[in-house]
Amino acid sequence: MMLLMPILIPMFAAALSMIIWRHRTLQRWVSVVTNSALLIAALILFNDVYNNGIQVTHLGGWEAPFGISLVADLLAVIMVTVSAFVAFCIAIYALATMNEDHEKFGFYPLLHLMLAGVIGAFLTGDIFNLYVWFEIMLVASFGLLILGGEREQMEGALKYVTLNLLSSALFLSAVGLLYSYAGTLNMADLGSKLSTSENAGVITVISLLFLVAFGIKAAAFPLFFWLPASYHTPPVAISAVFAGLLTKVGVYALYRVFSVIFVGDIAFTHHTLLLWMGILTMITGVLGAAAQFEVRRILSFHIVSQIGYMLVGLALFTPLAITGGIFYLFHHIIVKTNLFLISGVINRRHGTNKLDKLGGLYKSAPVLSILFAIPAMSLAGIPPLSGFFAKYVVIKAGLDAQAWLMVVASLAVGLLTLYSMIKIWSEAFWKPLPNTGETKSLMSDGERFCMYFPIILMAGMTITIGLYAEWFIQLASMAAEQVMNPQVYIDAVLGGQS
Q: Tell me the average pLDDT across 323-338.
A: 96
Give 360's pLDDT tier (boundaries 50, 70, 90).
confident
Amino acid in position 472: F
494: left (phi over 0), alpha (psi -120 to 50) or beta: alpha
The pLDDT > 90 percentage for the chain reads 73
Question: Which one, of 232, 244, 218, lies nearest residue 338 by Cα?
Answer: 244
The DSSP secondary-structure symbol of 357 reads: G
The chain-wide mean pLDDT, for the chain, equals: 91
Q: Tell me the average pLDDT across 36-52.
A: 96
Give 158's pLDDT tier (boundaries 50, 70, 90).
confident
pLDDT at 473: 97
Give 498's pLDDT tier (boundaries 50, 70, 90).
very low
Give 102's pLDDT tier (boundaries 50, 70, 90).
confident
Give 225's pLDDT tier (boundaries 50, 70, 90).
confident
Reply yes or no on whether the pLDDT at 496 is more than 80. Answer: no
pLDDT one-digit tens code per residue, 452-493: 999 999 999 999 999 999 999 999 999 999 999 999 999 999
pLDDT at 457: 97
Beta-carbon contacts of residue 478 (< 8 Å; ≥ 6 apart): 74
Contact at 8 Å (CB) between 264 and 255?
Answer: no
Question: Which one, of 401, 394, 382, 410, lies nearest residue 466 by Cα?
Answer: 382
pLDDT at 440: 61
pLDDT at 350: 86
Reply yes or no on whether the pLDDT at 497 is more than 70. Answer: no
pLDDT at 438: 58
Beta-carbon contacts of residue 377 (< 8 Å; ≥ 6 apart): 385, 387, 421
pLDDT one-digit tens code per residue, 416-459: 999 999 999 999 999 888 876 556 656 778 889 999 999 999 99
Quote the CA–CA distance of 57 and 125 in Å, as a whole number: 9
Q: Tell me the average pLDDT across 134-151.
A: 86
Quote the CA–CA distance of 14 and 30 in Å, as a whole number: 9
Quote the CA–CA distance of 449 and 441 in Å, as a whole number: 16
Quote the CA–CA distance of 449 and 311 in Å, as a whole number: 37
Reply yes or no on whether the pLDDT at 93 is more than 50. Answer: yes
Residue, of 232 and 109, whose pLDDT is higher: 109
Quote the CA–CA distance of 442 and 230 in Å, as a whole number: 28
Question: What's this model's pTM, rounded to 2 decimal places?
Answer: 0.95
Reply yes or no on whether the pLDDT at 218 is more than 80. Answer: yes
pLDDT one-digit tens code per residue, 164-211: 889 999 999 999 999 999 899 999 999 988 877 778 888 999 999 999
Reply yes or no on whether the pLDDT at 150 is more than 90. Answer: no
